[in-house]
Amino acid sequence: MSATRRQILSRTGASVAGIAFTGALSELFAGSAAAAGRRGGYGPLVPDPAGLLDLPAGFRYKVLSRQGDPLRSGEGPVPSNHDGMGAFPGRRGRVHLVRNHENRVTGKIGVPTVPGLTYDPAAKGGCTALELDGRNNVLGERVAIAGTAVNCAGGHTPWNTWLTCEETEDRAGTNGYTKDHGFIFEVDGADPHRTGAVPLTAMGRFQHEAIAVDPGNGIVYETEDAFDRPFGLFYRFLPHKPLGGTGSLRAGGALEAMRVPGVPDLSAVQETGARFDGVEWVPVPDPLATETPIRLQDFGPKGITHAQKLEGCYWGGRAVYFVSSFARRENGSAATHFGQVWKYEPDRRRLTLVVVFGPDTDVRLPGESPDNICLAPTGGLMVCEDGDGAQHVFGVSRRGEVYPVARGAHNIGTPDAPEWGEFAGVTFSPDRSTMYVNCYTPGTTFAVTGPWH
């Protein structure tokens, strides 16, 4: 992604409502018929006098938390690198936010170690939990899990816990770590000590990104954001105790990887609507990757299906949707694209390419590198872009219209070479009245309210 293209969007106010993504957007929004007749968009973004967050007229934000400020619990400072996030209902109308911190062994402010909540004291990643009242006032803020590494995204469970994902394959002895990493951990935002710091090893050890749970049968779908060839895989985990509630995933299960017959690399598919029936699921030979990373393991003579930068993942209707943030031929992908959204229908064993982003040569389009995504109150989609230059949260209406929702206004570069921290962790309150979103750098959590349609 060229910075020039994003700067053009910034200068024009990113008023791109009416410009559609390529693809069958209606596929993404089934189940929110109430919004079917409404047009998307809230108008152009209004510059923020405080220089933090530009929003459409009628919207307002509240800063809930910023890196370096003291945690309300007194456990230390608010960690840096705010990433994936989930919002869960609490008692008496309260909301529990669970927020990832994608920290590595060196760099910025790590998650403070807390007895009973720390996996590996040498690791600096983890999660913090905020408790909010009905007006988004912060009632509490504390460590929810510590001693994990590179906590990127994750996902909700049907029993209102957060599965936080480590985006690393580092072993004990690497970078000073005392334990193996690359796992998923379950976090209860209301009572973190209920879940502790226990790796869900049966769900695989790889560069996890995000998950989505089928609420009907408890199968967990997982994306892998691998940086090098061969690229990541799309997985499903069949738990021994499906939908068993908090702690049930510790009972183990079977991990499988997706094989699309005749398609070794998803980037080779360029046409929206392309459909593949007869998707296969192949048992992972060694989910713990004791000798060989999973994506390099032997899946038999038919091989396995790879894709570059598999990131966002969510369940909608009767299907799971997952994002390939981008693919580059020069990186080793079969073809170049600027972001895809795929739909997998388990009942039909069918995979369909439903959205293609970009290209970045057209400044009217919202760009490339979709990362964290979620469903909006309108039944549309909210997309956090992850690239250079101006940073936005974009919405996509049920009609396929693209519109700006937020733009970072805090320049962390220089006047001559401006930079803005990417957005991440977009999610909505249980009553759908508030959008919560993180700025990655400097780590900031916002609550955005206004006339959501």
**Residues 202-237: tens digit of each pLDDT:** 999 999 999 999 999 999 999 999 877 889 999 999
> DSSP characters for 403-432?
EEEEEE----S-SSS---PPEEEEEE-TTS
* 361 pLDDT above the threshold of 50: no
Q: What is the pLDDT of residues 327-336, one digit of tens each?
A: 899 999 999 8
Backbone angles phi and psi of 42, in degrees to 5: -125, 15
Question: What does the pLDDT look like over 268-298, one tens digit per residue?
Answer: 998 888 999 999 999 999 999 999 999 999 9
Query: pLDDT higher for 338 or 132?
Result: 132
Of the candidate ranges 9-23, 231-245, 346-360, 389-403, the one whose mean pLDDT is the lowest: 9-23
3-state SS assignment for residue 18:
coil
In this structure, what DSSP letter does residue 268 have? Answer: G
The number of distinct structural domains making up the chain is: 1
Q: 32-42: per-residue pLDDT in tens?
A: 333 333 456 89
Name the residue with higher pLDDT: 11 or 156. 156
Res. 363 pLDDT band, cuts 50 70 90: very low
With 60 as the cut, is the pLDDT of residue 11 above it? no
Q: Of 19 and 133, which is predicted with more confidence?
A: 133
Mean pLDDT score of the chain, rounded to an integer?
87
Spatial strand order in the sheet of 162-166: 151-156, 162-166, 184-187
Quote the domain boundaries for residue 373.
3-449
What is the model's pLDDT at position 227? 74
Cis peptide before 359 (omega within 30 of 0): yes
Q: Examine the pLDDT at 240 and tell me if it is beyond 90.
A: yes
Residue 21's pLDDT is what?
44
Nearest to 243 by CA among 222, 221, 223, 216: 216
pLDDT at position 10 over 50: no
For 307-320, what is the mean pLDDT? Answer: 91
For the stretch 426-452, pLDDT in tens is 999 999 999 999 999 999 999 999 998
- Given this model, what pLDDT does residue 224 score? 98
Q: What's residue 366's pLDDT?
A: 47
Burial per residue of 28-49, b for 16 or more beta-carbon CB atoms within 10 angstroms, e otherwise: bbeebeebeeeebbbebbeebe
pLDDT, mean of residues 118-126: 97
Q: Does a cis peptide bond (omega within 30 degrees of 0) precede residue 346?
A: no
CA distance 243 to 158: 7
Q: How far apart are CA 131 and CA 141, in angstroms?
A: 6
Instruction: Give the number of other Cβ atoms within 10 Å of residue 59's Cβ.
Output: 20
Total residue count of the chain as it appears in this document: 453
**Taking the CB of residue 128, how many other CB atoms lie within 10 A of it?**
30
- Examine the pLDDT at 7 and tell me if it is beyond 50: no
Is residue 386 scored above 90 in pLDDT?
Answer: no
Torsion-angle region of residue 250: left (phi > 0), alpha (psi -120 to 50) or beta?
alpha
Please give the share of the chain, as a percent, with pLDDT higher than 70: 85
What is the domain-level CATH number for residue 374?
A: 2.120.10.30
Indicate the helix (H) or strand (E) that contains 377: none
